């Protein structure tokens, strides 16, 4: 959740600064400003999705291989342990 919040904050700061530098009319003529704004939010969402996946992936893979040593080691603190 934190990367998404940081992405939104970074996008908001970028929007404010770009408005101050380019002006409102300048924002309409520069298409890259929208791309950067939404990319900052998308990057935060992507990092958050990777963090959620990475928390479950090692535990799930050890359960698929039925390796008891790895299950005990990797699934002990995993949010996805069954």
pLDDT digits (tens, 9 = 90+) for 20-44: 999 988 888 888 999 999 999 999 9
Contacts of 78 (CB under 8 A, 6+ apart): 55, 56, 58, 59
Confidence band (pLDDT; 50, 70, 90) for 6? very high
What does the pLDDT average to over 4-16? 95
Q: What is the Cα–Cα distance from 70 to 55, expressed in whole angstroms?
A: 14
Instruction: Decide if pLDDT at 45 tops 90.
Output: yes
CA dihedral angle for residue 45, residue 46, residue 52, residue 58, rounded to 10 degrees:
180
- Is pLDDT at 13 greater than 70 in this prediction? yes
Q: Are 27 and 33 in contact (CB under 8 A)?
A: yes
């Amino acid at each position: 959740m934190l990367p998404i919040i940081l992405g939104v904050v970074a996008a908001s700061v970028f929007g404010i600064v770009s408005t101050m530098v380019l002006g409102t009319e300048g924002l309409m003529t520069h298409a890259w400003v929208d791309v950067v704004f939404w990319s900052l939010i998308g990057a935060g969402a992507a990092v958050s999705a990777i963090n959620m996946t990475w928390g479950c992936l090692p535990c799930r893979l050890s359960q698929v291989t039925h390796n008891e040593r790895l299950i005990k080691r990797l699934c002990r603190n995993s949010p996805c342990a069954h």
